Amino acid sequence: MNKAQLVEAIADKLGGRQNAAEAVDAVLDAIVRAVVGGDRVSVTGFGSFEKVERPARYARNPQTGERVRVKKTSVPRFRAGQGFKDLVSGTKKLPRGGEVSVKKAPKGSLTGGVTAKATTKKAAAKKTTAARKTAAKKATPAKQTAAKQTTAAKKTSAVKKTAAAKKTTTKKAAARKTSPAKKAPGKTAGRKTTPKRAAASR
């Protein structure tokens, strides 16, 4: 069965050949894009598509028998699901009419295309958020320590200024006490002249 025959086989179920062709193209395109991008496309009961890396190796040319070096390459691989294997091996019988009973795919089992990209973006967003939270937690103690140091420095500076002001005040007060009081010239002269006047009057 080729692609055209596959489209014809499902045309009646999808309401026409055009719809069937578009559906087949969309499914194949999504699978190819996902596998090329390194994602694994898994359909429960049917199988999975994935990209496999093949290391560099030596092979033989079947025509000449010459040993040839083969470069490292990537190849697509399909692994049939258990339901598909059972039907092919004959363990389970293929129903005569209607669709093949394949298990319903659980949520998130079909990965590829938009779904895979969305999942990758969500994972990256979660990692970024976690990294930001960790950085914020690390930065917070540093900020608090810096704030504490600044506050301590301000308090020390204020204490030093207050102590210096007190010392200056104490020195001024001491200087005032030790310096002799200057006598008023008028009063001293008056006291000296008073005894002379008393003697003259006698």
162-171 confidence digits (pLDDT tens): 666 666 666 6
- pLDDT beyond 60 at 143: no
The residue range of the domain holding 38 is 3-56+68-133
Say if residues 63 and 104 touch (Cβ distance below 8 Å). Answer: no
183-195 confidence digits (pLDDT tens): 445 444 445 445 5
CATH number of the structural domain spanning residue 84: 4.10.520.10
CA terminus-to-terminus distance, the chain: 163
The amino acid occupying position 73 is T
Answer whether residue 125 is part of any domain: yes
Q: What is the mean pLDDT of the chain?
A: 74
Say if residues 31 and 112 touch (Cβ distance below 8 Å). Answer: yes
How many residues comprise the chain? 202
Report the number of distinct structural domains present in the chain. Answer: 1
Answer whether residue 171 is part of any domain: no
Strand 47-54 and strand 57-60: the pairing is unpaired
Range picked from 65-79, 105-119, 130-144, 149-163 for highest mean pLDDT: 65-79
Cα dihedral sign, 52-58-62-64: positive
Q: Give the pair of three-digit tokens for residue 91.
A: 């363990």
pLDDT of residue 188: 45
Q: What are phi and psi of 150, to 5 degrees?
A: -65, -45
Answer whether residue 107 is part of any domain: yes
Answer whether residue 173 is part of any domain: no
Answer whether residue 166 is part of any domain: no
Mean pLDDT of 116-128: 53
If one counts every other C-beta atom within 10 angstroms of the C-beta of residue 35, the result is 21
Answer whether residue 149 is part of any domain: no
Output 54 or 199, whichever has higher pLDDT.
Answer: 54
Measured between alpha carbons, how far is 169 from 3 in angstroms, rounded to an integer?
A: 104
Q: Give the pair of three-digit tokens for residue 133.
A: 């939270």
Cα three-residue angle 153-154-155, rounded to 5 degrees:
90
Q: Give the pair of three-digit tokens for residue 116.
A: 């895979």
Measured between alpha carbons, how far is 111 from 34 in angstroms, rounded to an integer?
A: 8
Output 190 or 18, whichever has higher pLDDT.
Answer: 18
Mean pLDDT of 57-63: 92
Output 74 or 142, whichever has higher pLDDT.
Answer: 74
